[in-house]
A and B are shown apart, each in its own frame.
Chain A
Amino acid sequence: MPNSGVVSLKNVTVVRGGETVLEDLTLSVDESDFLAVIGPNGSGKTTLLKVILGLIEPDAGDVWIVGHEPKDARMRIGYLPQKFDFDHSFPINVFDVVLMGRYSGLFHRYTKDDRDATEMALATVGMSDFLDRQIGKLSGGQIQRVFLARAIVKDPRLLLLDEPTASIDPEMQSSFYELINELKEKMAVIMVTHDIGVSSVHVDKIACINKKLFYHGSVEGGLKHIEELYECPVEIVAHGVPHRVMGRHDHK
């Protein structure tokens, strides 16, 4: 039976090429949660996202997204990829990129509702002035906003963010998190990151994974345990901002 809540993973194991990538992972996310999934490189964070998106079928365990199998829940999930791995000279403008997020099946034309939702989403992320701009002619932070609009344009119940701060300037980060905090009122948010310093300030809960789930709960509790969890962790987990982590949370 599907559990309640937006995301429910139960004893999920993923094996890839003979190697266990995720082991016996149990995790749940409720409405209006902002969860950061933290772990070093190769810890299975991206695999976890792909499991939630239905791109990878787990070898064992159950996954329920708003009461559906992941593949059937895709319409309810907004996804912001880590890399904007597209041809920057691709002949498409900002409006049409976001409109693609309203895709609803073969042969379905985009309707006036779709166009209105697109304008709304672009207004939400503050990119209304760039509707006609060719996508490659924007800065990294602007492209991220457009892709965020594409992720939220269908009013998803769940928003997945894959390393969202990796591709933008530090100055842009706080306004990005402000935006996510507004969106959180309408949808659950899961953010995969290795940047524990910044995320700990903004998120409600954290989950620390390294193949297995080490911790799942409030931010303070997680930071307390972080060194045991990762053995020599702070540099790996939060490289770039170790001082900030140490300074704010006296976890020794």
Chain B
Amino acid sequence: MMELLQYDFIRNALISTVLVSIACGIVGTYVVTKRLVFISGGISHAAFGGIGLGYLLGINPVLMAIPYSILSALGIGVMSQRTNVSEDTAIGILWTVGMALGIIFINLSPGYAPDLFSYLFGNILTVPNFDLLLMVLLDCVIVGAVALLHREFAALSFDEEFAQVSGVPTRFLYLLLLCLVALSVIVMIRVVGIILVIALLTIPVAICRQFTERLMTLMLLSILTGIIITLFGLWLSYVLDLSSGATIILALGAAFLLVSLFKRTKKSSP
């Protein structure tokens, strides 16, 4: 195992595991407790439009996906706050339009898009140094925002009406939270891909909320759980020679199932 660490791609894989788990543990806590799972799915899929645009313009697709996914997050949020379009309809529209745009952009780009598949399903073993740096930056933004605004985010997630009455700028913070979801999606794209992002945002938190009743503890536990299970999934994919993103998700799913069953049998036994 030690000689494996000498390879750059293994080292990058380990670092990105930690970076992804930090983003997922923090943002995922709000995604699960405020029930933003579907909206996060919309934001992550819409980000594919940004990937395609990156190909078309010859810009790093992950970099291009940042403004694109933030704009789609704001689009979903503003559409559901300001117009008569209900939130799930807004999500459905941006989700599919984003993906369709991505495909058209790639059609229009010259040549062939060889690593397109890795944006959809991720490949933790091919994270380039530049993208790793980007992930560090985005993690800093996420951690910083939550460190400054965790009181507001907690109030917003628990009881939005009361938060508004107490003077919390709920509309602004809701949009900001969606932007943090967008940024965490970007952090994850290289590792698990657009289609599997939701699993990393939800499953570690879903596992850990069975063990804690504090929001902050839930974040920290989820980060830790994310790291451990993602590493296990990565190792498993290496041993069994399977796709890393999918194996990580299956490991997370299996862990959730085991923990839930364990909790249930413990509860039913006297």
Question: Could you list which residues of chain A lie within 8 angstroms of chain B, going by C-beta atoms?
Answer: 53, 55, 74-75, 77, 79, 81, 85-87, 89-93, 96-97, 100-101, 103-110, 134, 150
For chain A, what secondary structure do more than half of its interface residues adopt (helix, strand, loop), or is it mixed? loop
Q: Which residue of B has the minimal Cβ distance to A77? A: B165
Contact partner, A74, options B151, B154, B157, B166, Cβ 8 Å: B166
Contact partner, A92, options B152, B158, B169, Cβ 8 Å: B158
A-chain residues with CB within 8 Å of residue B267 when the two chains form the complex: none
Q: Are A134 and B213 in contact (CB under 8 A)?
A: yes
Q: Which residue of A has the minimal Cβ distance to B205? A: A91
Q: Are B151 and A110 in contact (CB under 8 A)?
A: yes
Contact partner, B168, options A79, A103, A107, A109, Cβ 8 Å: A103
Q: Which residue of A has the minimal Cβ distance to B217? A: A91
Encode B212-223 as 1/0 by CB contact (under 8 A) with A. 111101100000
Tell me the complex Cα distance, A107–B153, Å.
12
A-chain residues with CB within 8 Å of residue B148 when the two chains form the complex: 107
Closest chain-A Cβ to B224's Cβ sits at a distance in Å of 16
Please name 18 pairs of A and B residues whose Cβ atoms are closer than 8 Å in the assembled complex, sorted by A.
A74-B165, A74-B166, A81-B159, A86-B158, A87-B33, A87-B158, A90-B157, A91-B218, A92-B158, A92-B213, A92-B214, A93-B213, A93-B214, A97-B158, A100-B159, A100-B163, A103-B152, A150-B162
Tell me the complex Cα distance, A108–B209, Å.
27
Q: A81-B162, A100-B158, A100-B163 are in contact. List 16 more A-B contacts (CB 8 A).
A: A53-B165, A79-B162, A85-B159, A87-B33, A87-B158, A91-B212, A91-B214, A91-B215, A91-B217, A92-B158, A97-B158, A100-B159, A100-B162, A103-B163, A107-B148, A150-B162
Asked whether any CB of chain A lies closer than 8 Å to the CB of B161, the reply is yes
A-chain residues with CB within 8 Å of residue B169 when the two chains form the complex: 106
Asked whether any CB of chain A lies closer than 8 Å to the CB of B35, the reply is yes
Contact partner, A55, options B154, B164, B209, B218, Cβ 8 Å: B164
Tell me the complex Cα distance, A104–B166, Å.
8
Q: Which residue of A has the minimal Cβ distance to B216? A: A91
Q: Which of A81, A91, A101 has the most CB of B within 10 A?
A: A91
Closest chain-A Cβ to B219's Cβ sits at a distance in Å of 10
Tell me the complex Cα distance, A107–B148, Å.
6
B-chain residues with CB within 8 Å of residue A103 when the two chains form the complex: 151-152, 155, 163, 166-168
Tell me the complex Cα distance, A91–B158, Å.
9
Closest chain-A Cβ to B82's Cβ sits at a distance in Å of 16
Asked whether any CB of chain A lies closer than 8 Å to the CB of B57, the reply is no
For chain B, what secondary structure do more than half of its interface residues adopt (helix, strand, loop), or is it mixed? helix
Q: Are A90 and B33 in contact (CB under 8 A)?
A: yes
Q: Are B165 and A55 in contact (CB under 8 A)?
A: yes
Closest chain-A Cβ to B221's Cβ sits at a distance in Å of 10
Q: Are A100 and B167 in contact (CB under 8 A)?
A: no
Tell me the complex Cα distance, A85–B163, Å.
13
Q: Known contacts A74-B167, A101-B166; decide if A91 and B159 are in contact (CB<8 Å).
A: no
B-chain residues with CB within 8 Å of residue A109 when the two chains form the complex: 151
Asked whether any CB of chain A lies closer than 8 Å to the CB of B149, the reply is yes
Q: Which residue of A has the minimal Cβ distance to B167? A: A74
Encode B130-168 as 1/0 by CB contact (under 8 A) with A. 000000000000000000110110110111011111111
Q: Which residue of B has the minimal Cβ distance to A102? A: B166
Contact partner, B155, options A79, A91, A100, Cβ 8 Å: A100
B-chain residues with CB within 8 Å of residue A107 when the two chains form the complex: 148-149
Tell me the complex Cα distance, A75–B166, Å.
7
Q: Are A92 and B162 in contact (CB under 8 A)?
A: no
Q: Are B164 and A106 in contact (CB under 8 A)?
A: no
B-chain residues with CB within 8 Å of residue A81 when the two chains form the complex: 159, 161-162
Q: Which residue of B has the minimal Cβ distance to A72? A: B167
Encode B167-207 as 1/0 by CB contact (under 8 A) with A. 11100000000000000000000000000000000000000
B-chain residues with CB within 8 Å of residue A74 when the two chains form the complex: 165-167
B-chain residues with CB within 8 Å of residue A86 when the two chains form the complex: 158-159
A-chain residues with CB within 8 Å of residue B161 when the two chains form the complex: 81, 85
Q: Which residue of A has the minimal Cβ distance to B166? A: A103
B-chain residues with CB within 8 Å of residue A75 when the two chains form the complex: 167
Tell me the complex Cα distance, A150–B213, Å.
19
A-chain residues with CB within 8 Å of residue B35 when the two chains form the complex: 87
Pairs A-B, 4 closest by C-beta atoms: A134-B213, A103-B166, A91-B213, A74-B167
Q: Are B209 and A89 in contact (CB under 8 A)?
A: yes
Q: Known contacts A75-B167, A91-B214, A100-B162; decide if A106 and B152 are in contact (CB<8 Å).
A: yes
